[in-house]
Copies of this chain bind each other. A is one copy, B any other.
């Protein structure tokens, strides 16, 4: 592959002049420039960004470390991050951690070696260590979706607590009293907050919180299915399920169907996170919708600003609202279904 020296030799100029043709064309006289351009064309020369990065300490690459691109929530984020990044001349490296800390650590290590210019990180667990391992190297980070208590970082996230609160209140208004909360891994801040919102709504309504209805699981379809199946096998059935996210809720719905129960007549289901409506002919899930596209966009903007003007901006937290969307998966409680038939 031709290098800058080959081009320089062919155009009878010095390598630095070739460099200028690419980076400061106006600083090269038109005839010389033309000669260089002809040489570039003839040799099929493509500047080597690696060498450039080595000199400039800039890779024009961002890392997007999330849990699973397969969930439309993260898909939207990936899309907006890539849109915003490529608009500013940055590429995006995609990583799926599956909320596995070992995988996350491995990714971070490789990406730090690669000297990406910045990280958009969805931490597998809401503790500071991962974030700090990046900050220690003076590499900008923006945390997506989750709080990281104790770390001095920019965060862009949704108001999970309010979302869960709103959904729980909605269920209470429909007459539900036995509402099971299928929550995510409690090491993750959103899981914690969603339980908090659930608790607050119950408490405000004067309904005692029964810990028996709170079940921890993962943010996956399989986990939602497993936990819901367990619940449905017990003597006392809940009249409503609150899924910690869309995956969990969809898993639970499968369990409900398999148990021969009707939705929403026998049991209501609601969750945080919507599913894009064009994916579902008739959207039927009652949700607290987040704005993932917006979230990715805002986060990328913050990150690029940090990269462009390091050390200038104080860390900030952007809290995005959730929107309650009422659909057919929730209905008034059916008094006959308090006990298993």
A49 touches B94 (CB 8 A): no
Q: How far is the CA of A276 from the CA of B96 in the complex (A)?
A: 19
Q: Verify if A187 is at the interface (C-beta below 8 Å from B).
A: no
- Report whether B72 and A79 are in contact in the complex, using a CB–CB cutoff of 8 Å: no
A72-B279, A76-B70, A279-B72 known; A93-B93 Cβ under 8 A: yes
CB < 8 Å: which of B49, B78, B94, B221 contacts A114?
Answer: B49
Q: Which of A91-108 contact B (CB under 8 A)?
A: 91-96, 107
Tallying the copies of this chain within the complex gives 2
* Nearest CB of chain B from residue A63's CB, rounded to whole Å: 8
**Residues in A25-66 with C-beta less than 8 Å from chain B:** 44, 46-51, 53-54, 59, 61, 64
**Quick one: given A44-B136, A251-B278, A281-B253, are A79 and B70 in contact (CB under 8 Å)?**
yes
Chain B min CB distance to A337 (Å): 19
Complex Cα distance, B94 from A105, in Å, reads: 21
Given contact pairs A50-B114, A114-B49, A115-B48, A91 touches B82 in the complex (Cβ within 8 A): no
Residue A335 lies at the interface, judged by CB distance under 8 Å to chain B: no
Q: Type the 1/0 row for A275-308, where 1 means its CB is closer than 8 Å to any CB of B.
A: 1101111001100000000000000000000000
| A265: Cβ under 8 A from any B Cβ | no
Beta-carbon contacts of A248-265 to B below 8 Å, as 1s and 0s? 001101100000000100
Asked if B69 and A115 make an inter-chain contact with CB atoms under 8 angstroms apart, the answer reads no
What residues of B have a CB within 8 angstroms of the CB of A86 in the complex?
95-96, 107
Q: What is the chain B residue whose CB lies nearest that of A90?
A: B110
A240 within 8 A of B: no
14 extra interface residue pairs, beta carbon distance < 8 Å, beyond A46-B112, A251-B278: A1-B137, A1-B138, A50-B114, A51-B54, A61-B114, A70-B276, A72-B279, A91-B114, A250-B278, A254-B278, A279-B280, A280-B280, A280-B281, A281-B329
10 smallest CB-CB distances across A and B, nearest first, come from: A49-B113, A49-B114, A94-B94, A221-B278, A250-B278, A91-B93, A50-B53, A50-B54, A46-B112, A280-B280
29 contacts between A and B (CB under 8 A): A1-B137, A1-B138, A44-B137, A46-B112, A47-B113, A48-B113, A49-B115, A50-B54, A50-B59, A50-B114, A61-B93, A69-B79, A69-B82, A72-B75, A72-B279, A78-B94, A82-B96, A86-B95, A86-B96, A86-B107, A89-B110, A91-B93, A92-B94, A94-B94, A250-B279, A251-B278, A253-B281, A280-B280, A281-B285
